[in-house]
Structure 1
Amino acid sequence: MGGFALLLVRTTGWRRAAMLGWMFGIGHFMLGNAWIATAFTYQANMPAVLGWFAVPLLALYLALFPALAAGAARALAGRVALPLAFAGCWTLSEWLRGWLFTGYPWNPFGIVLLGPFDGPGLAAIAPWMGTYALSGLAVLIGGLLAAALASRRWLPLALASVLLAAGMYLPAGAGASGKTPFTLVQPDIRQEQLDDPRYFEDAFRKTAELGAARVPGERRLLLWPESGVPDYLEDGYPQRYYSATTAFADPVLARRRIGLVIGPGTTLLTGAVDLEVADDHAVGAYNVVTALDADGAIVGSYAKAHLVPYGEYLPLRWLLEPLGATRLVPGALDFLPGPGPQTIDLGPLGKAGVQICYEIVFSGSVVDAAHRPDYIFNPSNDGWFGPSGPPQHLAQARLRAIEEGLPILRATTTGISAVIDARGVVRDHIGRLQAGRMDGMIPPAAPPTLFARAGNLLALAWAVLFLLSGLVVSRRRAR
């Protein structure tokens, strides 16, 4: 970013600046989204080579947002100090990227300020800014460095250095212990096995054995990943929709079996799938988390609201399907969106917020503010994401924990599973392509943060503040 900002400082004209921003964005988003190409190798409906075309095409679109930020900042530069103009415009463009056409906020630039697992770094200030404004701050630091190099003035360099140093040395402190016991399972079921009925029983047994209670009858929350159950758990669908070839052909018996497996005292949160049925025909599906007690009774559920375009549903299906396009997740039915963030009350095990997989990357959209949870459960199947996607996904989950002041528990099929406290510190994790479990107490929630109360209005307010500050600085220089 420092090099990009330096070029922007030396560029004249908003058109050249916008082109520079677009070129930067293409490189940035091609590298950051390279994992998408891997997802195409796990389906047979479309040639896998299309993945290597999908990545640059997506980058060409996403790069429009840095182009917009750079062009607008350069256009304002005569009246607003350029580093602050760039910070404000970048904040607005990232918010727009996370909202337009249902949004794609993957890899916000502010993630570069996130510290290692044992500390939040400069991202510790996200509760007072939000992720999009944190990105603006990262851009401001780069802009100050560029201004210092271009003008050979020491003040911008000193300010940038102080900000960076503050981030490096912000202490995380000792984390408090919680009171809710949990077991989190990562079964390491590979993507090529998840959708193959021949592996359903083995996958279920492996997951169940990993999560078995070590003390009979202990009260605990058991967490399985997305795709944790290989069939429908709700009864009442036409029988032809249940897998007759598996032990889950009868959903009532399947739930009882799960209840016996998890044992008394345990409540399970697991990924599953529900159907939308009309006139005795399935018209869509829901990617859900289902809560089951030891009797096999469903005590709560949540349906994913932010779906992955071309992954879980095919936009413009009526147009694209005749051309041979399909979605990456196998199946003829598109997934349908749920109503949005919800909190599941699990009694003595606390109030669970749920965000499934990709949903966790949407800043300001992960919590039911009217029913604030005690923690967020984020089940995911990151087997689609190759080696580069899971670390990015985990980093974005850490930003949500910091913003909202809530612990997040990530249970994934192949990694990286993690327990993240309300400061964004990773308390424990299981690496990629490993099977294992984590046991402990869920870290406590912090009091509602400023961001938890204001949401992305806070980030937009910071964008305005950046721009107004730049206006003041520019006028003082003019004197």
Structure 2
Amino acid sequence: MLNRALSWAFAHPRLTLVALGALSALGFPPIHLWPLAIIALGGAAILIRFAGSMRSALFRGWLFGLTHFIVTNLWIATAFTHQNQMPAAIGWAAVPLLSVYLALYPALAFMLAYRLARGRSTLVYALALGGCWIVAEYLRATLFTGYAWGPFSLALLGPFDRPGFAALLPFTGTYALSGLAVLLAVALADLALRREWLRVALVSILLLAGMYWPVGAGSEGMIDYTLVQPDFDQETLNDPRQYEPGFLTLAALSTRSDTQTDPRLVLWPEGVLPDYLREGYPQRYYAATTAGRDPVFARKRIARVIGDDSLLLTGTIDLEVEGDRAVAAYNVVTVVDGEGGIVGGYRKAHLVPYGEYLPLRSWLEPLGLSRLVAGSIDFWPGPGPKTIDLGRHGRAGMQICYEIIFSGQVVDRSDRPDYIVNPSIDGWFGPTGPPQHFAQARMRAIEEGLPVLRATTTGISGVIDARGVVRQHLGMSKQGRLDGKVPPTGSPTPFAILGNWLALVWAILLLGASLVVKRRRAH
């Protein structure tokens, strides 16, 4: 049976790679068939190793990447169903078009590994591919504003109560763990080809043990929180008739419980508050969306909800005004205290192209294209990661929505926070996007050694400790609140100190090892 399957695969490599690319994406949440991801990538790597030329290796790698990214990013098509100015069918075209570009990165990794290991052993090829994969994932997350969604190491994240092999992230970073996973996948595929089943079984047992090794309950923190998930879908958020009912829902979910006597953090998601909370804008903007047509009134009623000595961290919008009109907006987290004052804020720095701004607007807007977020003006980026000192409530780092997926870019390394707050709108993302989004927030917690408190409109919301263990969560399409204490801060990890330089060191080590093995076996 195995011989027949191998014969067919080598006789039809392109069709096989298309299938393997799609199967490898099933290793990501929510399906999370992680062994399938390793098997599929290992099989694809072997087929590409015998491509016969660099051009063929490049094309085969691109075919694998194309279907891998199409399946991984199917959630993007759902986002287009929430934009009335563009037909939903554009979303189904956007996913493969984006994947055509994203597939270039694994294709280049496969091609370079093929070139470095041509005529050499599988070990040389595996080491070279692992190193090239690290560089390729880093470049994908960096070039042209970056697209970091779906690193291969996402498949190695364990269930909610344990980190799995993602426990290695403090020592590798996301992209290096992906490269090591690729190395492992190629080694396992080679062992299977050589029928070394005992070694395959031993490695498989070790993989299972690593993925499901328990880590314990963890210690309790000191800062009280109330985290709210209102379950507002996109239609609710965009409907002015729902502004006041929406606030009443948020207020009901946020009132202090009988057991809460200490000061607390109240966390609301991105996009749930239509009010402009800052003063100084033309009055017509307050009249359109702000309670009482007055930002002071809007903040005072928030203060009455959260109570004295408490702070609200909520997603909202600030405006950039020139003269009597707004020329841009900022996606922000605003910190409101128990007296209705603004005591801090953060502007989102890593904006979503076509979501929060329209690149080449003067060219594309006449063609009928618009951004996915409602409105006619673009969002402008903030300066980058920022830590806000909240006094007795600790030092908060903030990342809004999509920003949390960017490994090495989520905290100010010169001013380390105690925890990261990650408000988000996940109603855009269909059934597959939110589990992947939440999983990538867990990876940032492990890398940085920091708890992450994630409040979303429709789920998944949760509190993640510094080991990536989910202490509490609310699933998709559920309304509710979480109360507890912010998990304690972990010690700075090697990744927290070095950032993605650590991943690039791993790339150099793997590529260097491949050259050493290549030279030794040549003599």
Q: Same fold (TM over 0.5)?
A: yes
The answer to whether the 8 Å contact 1:123/1:167 transfers is no
What pairs up with 1:25-40 in 2 under 5 angstroms?
25-40=65-80
Amino acid corresponding to residue 411 of structure 1 in structure 2: A
In the other structure, the counterpart of 1:179 is: 222
* Separation in structure 1 between the aligned mates of residue 204 and residue 343 of structure 2, nearest angstrom: 52
Structure 1 stretches of at least 4 aligned residues deviating more than 6 Å after TM superposition: none
- Larger CA deviation: 166-175 vs 333-342: 166-175
User: Which of 113, 117, 122 pairs up with 1:77?
Assistant: 117
Amino acid corresponding to residue 223 of structure 1 in structure 2: L
What pairs up with 1:411-426 in 2 under 5 angstroms?
411-426=455-470
What pairs up with 1:97-176 in 2 under 5 angstroms?
97-152=140-195, 157=200, 160-161=203-204, 164-176=207-219
Deviation at 1:473, TM superposition (A): 2.3
Give structure 2 stretches of 5+ with no counterpart. 1-40
Deviation at 1:217, TM superposition (A): 5.6
Amino acid corresponding to residue 320 of structure 1 in structure 2: L
In the other structure, the counterpart of 2:88 is: 48
User: Which of 336, 345, 351 pairs up with 1:301?
Assistant: 345
The answer to whether the 8 Å contact 2:254/2:305 transfers is no
The answer to whether the 8 Å contact 1:217/1:266 transfers is no
Q: Is 1:194 the counterpart of 2:234 in the alignment?
A: no
Aligned CA distance change for structure 1 residues 162 and 454 (closer, same or farther; 3 Å):
farther
Aligned CA distance change for structure 1 residues 155 and 340 (closer, same or farther; 3 Å):
farther
Aligned CA distance change for structure 1 residues 391 and 363 (closer, same or farther; 3 Å):
same
Deviation at 1:81, TM superposition (A): 0.2
Q: Is 1:63 the counterpart of 2:103 in the alignment?
A: yes
* Separation in structure 1 between the aligned mates of residue 51 and residue 219 of structure 2, nearest angstrom: 50
What pairs up with 1:230-269 in 2 under 5 angstroms?
230-244=274-288, 247-269=291-313
Deviation at 1:154, TM superposition (A): 6.9
The answer to whether the 8 Å contact 1:144/1:157 transfers is no
User: What TM-score do you get using the length of structure 2 for normalisation?
Assistant: 0.89
Deviation at 1:188, TM superposition (A): 0.4
* Separation in structure 2 between the aligned mates of residue 477 and residue 12 of structure 1, nearest angstrom: 21
- Tell me the secondary structure at the aligned position of residue 86 of structure 2: coil
* Separation in structure 2 between the aligned mates of residue 157 and residue 235 of structure 1, nearest angstrom: 65
* Separation in structure 2 between the aligned mates of residue 429 and residue 101 of structure 1, nearest angstrom: 34
User: Which of 46, 49, 62 pairs up with 1:22?
Assistant: 62
Aligned length: 479
Aligned-pair identity (%): 62
Deviation at 1:9, TM superposition (A): 3.0
What pairs up with 1:84-103 in 2 under 5 angstroms?
84-103=127-146
The answer to whether the 8 Å contact 2:315/2:423 transfers is yes
Amino acid corresponding to residue 340 of structure 2 in structure 1: G
* Separation in structure 2 between the aligned mates of residue 159 and residue 97 of structure 1, nearest angstrom: 34
* Superimposed CA distance per residue, residues 347-386 of structure 1 (whole angstroms, 9 cap, x where no aligned partner): 0010000000000000000001111000000000000001
Aligned alpha-carbon RMSD (Å):
1.6
* Separation in structure 1 between the aligned mates of residue 448 and residue 481 of structure 2, nearest angstrom: 26
Deviation at 1:248, TM superposition (A): 4.8
Deviation at 1:170, TM superposition (A): 3.5
Q: Is 1:383 the counterpart of 2:427 in the alignment?
A: yes
* Superimposed CA distance per residue, residues 294-347 of structure 1 (whole angstroms, 9 cap, x where no aligned partner): 100000000000000000000010110111111000001100000000011110
- Tell me the secondary structure at the aligned position of residue 55 of structure 1: helix
In the other structure, the counterpart of 1:223 is: 267
Aligned CA distance change for structure 1 residues 248 and 96 (closer, same or farther; 3 Å):
farther
Q: Is 1:443 the counterpart of 2:483 in the alignment?
A: no
Q: Is 1:368 the counterpart of 2:412 in the alignment?
A: yes
* Separation in structure 2 between the aligned mates of residue 163 and residue 29 of structure 1, nearest angstrom: 29
Q: Is 1:406 the counterpart of 2:446 in the alignment?
A: no
* Superimposed CA distance per residue, residues 222-243 of structure 1 (whole angstroms, 9 cap, x where no aligned partner): 1000013112100101111223
In the other structure, the counterpart of 2:322 is: 278
